[in-house]
Every structure is written in C-alpha cells, then in structure tokens.
Amino acid sequence: MRNVEVALKTRANLGECPRWDEQSQLLYWVDINACELHRFNPLTCEDDCLTFGEEIGCFVLRRDGGFVLAMRSGFYFMENWGDELKAICDPEADIETNRFNDGRCDAAGRFIAGTVYPPKDKDGANFWTLDTDLSARLLVPGMLTSNGAAFSPDNRTFYFANTPKHVIFRCDYNLENGTIGKAEVFHQFEYGNGRPDGASVDSEGCYWTALYEGGRIARLSPQGDILEEIPVPAKCPTMVAFGDQDLKTLYITSVGNRPDEELIAYPHSGSVFKVRVDVPGLPEHRFGAQAILN
C-alpha cells in the first residue's frame, strides 16, 4: 500500500490544476472557486497566492517566462508572478454560463483548454486550442465538463475526459497542425464510484486520473486497463501532477467545499496530497508564443 501524505494542509474550495515547474522546483495550483493561483515550495512549505476578479480554471507556463491563464472570460498573459493580466482572446464570449476548466500544452507549444457548462442540460462545453499565433479554434465540441487533457509521450495521442459521463476518450493527434482524429472510448468507469477528473501521463505512457467522489486515483495502461488504484484521504481528488527532481512524486489536489459529514470522515479535504510512485512523469510542455500584447 502506498503512503499518501498531506503535502500542503489547506482547505481549498476547489483545488485543481497542479503543475510542476522543473526549473524553479515549485508546484503551482489553482483554487477555481476562490479565483486563486498558488505557488507552493515543497522544501519550505511556503504557499504564495494571487487572487483574481474571476475564476481561473487552468494555466500553463510559457517558454520565454510567465504564464498563460484560462479564466472565465478567456485567455490571458501574465508576464511575471503578480503582474497585470493582458487579454488574449475569449472564444466563448457569447456563452455567459461557461468558464474554462482544464487544459495543458502540446509539444508544439499550443494550449489546449476545455470549458465547463454548469447547467448540464445539454452538451454545452468544448475544448479549444490557443495556437502560438494567439488565435483560438475549436478542437472538441459537445462536452458537459471538459477534463483530463493529456498527451502520450510520443505526442501522437490526445486523451480527454467528459467527467459527468464517467468516460475517458482517446484520439489520434497530429502534432504538426494540432488536429485530432475520431475519438474512441479509452475507459468507461461505472457510475456511482467516482468519475474521471484531471489527469497526467507518465513516461511509460500510462494515464493517471483523479476520481472525483471516488476517493482514489487510478493508473491506466495505454490500452485503457486499470493497473493500480490508490486511495486518497479526500472523497474528491481533482487532478494529479508529477513533481520533485525525479518526477516520481505525484501531487494531488482536492475539494474542501463538501458536506459536513464528509469533512468529518475526510478532515484533510481541500489539501494538496503527495505519494511516491515507481515510474516518473514527464516535464510539462510550455506555451510557445513569443508575442507580448501591448
């Protein structure tokens, strides 16, 4: 049995998008509902925080420094920690209900980010690609909640989850032009035992997913078979990220805004957890655009 520990004791409302920066050896993560971006130093246990005027769903680091943030109102640059945000574009400006939720970069430096459609009365969420020329285009339409964006080590496969439907898809990915092939079911989880949320892929090509309301994370083979499940001391883990110098520490964000009886059973809900694994992850790709908006 692997030992899952509390890395950062906190009560995040909706902790998400842990992302390891191998250059600074810091873990970044967001609290979506609190409109916060955090940076955590595992060596000192210091956790700094920026608070914005709207929700931040996910973000990526840039090749030439700084960040690209996917907010409720679209994509933004932040040149340095704490700098003023610079708007890039909002591909869903005409959809008031939606906000960005999950995403990451491909190896060519594009930012693939998905939205969530809270009413859930139709498939109203989408995955978008922010290209390095700063234009946005639709990648995957017709989702309920876009999640689990990840790439195989050879960048030929793109994975994504439609969380409310308990399903993870895989499709061929053309890195040259950033297009995808037909999506096929990678793994369908049974209903009522946790649904797939955020994810990362390790160096062997296995897909790690956090199972929201399932109290565990799971490692799936490239063929979609469950190889390992690890219980987490929170009912609602949200996403995983490989970190530390050897990329063998799996950091796990979670939700703290839960019913009282659940918080009694899982008092560390909302914390960032960590667990050591045998196979390392891969460094995160970074956004490639060099342009700076005036």
Cα(272)–Cα(252) distance, rounded to whole angstroms?
Answer: 6
Is 21 one of the annotated active-site residues of the chain?
A: no
Q: How far is CA 207 from the centre of its chain?
A: 13
| Cα–Cα distances in angstroms (integers) from residue 16 to residues 8, 63, 100, 106, 166, in the given order | 13, 22, 12, 19, 18
Cα(131)–Cα(88) distance, rounded to whole angstroms?
Answer: 11
Name, in order, each residue with C-beta under 8 angstroms of 290's C-beta and a sequence gap of 6 or more. 63, 64
Name, in order, each residue with C-beta under 8 angstroms of 137's C-beta and a sequence gap of 6 or more. 128, 129, 131
Query: 58 and 102 in contact (C-beta within 8 Å)?
Result: yes
Query: 85 and 52 in contact (C-beta within 8 Å)?
Result: yes
Q: Rg of the chain over CA atoms, in angstroms?
A: 17
Cα(232)–Cα(1) distance, rounded to whole angstroms?
Answer: 12
Cα(52)–Cα(118) distance, rounded to whole angstroms?
Answer: 21
Which of 31, 102, 106, 197 is labelled catalytic? 197
Query: 274 and 248 in contact (C-beta within 8 Å)?
Result: no
Cα(162)–Cα(171) distance, rounded to whole angstroms?
Answer: 14
Sheet holding 272-276, edge to edge: 5-8, 272-276, 249-254, 237-243
- What residues act catalytically? 197
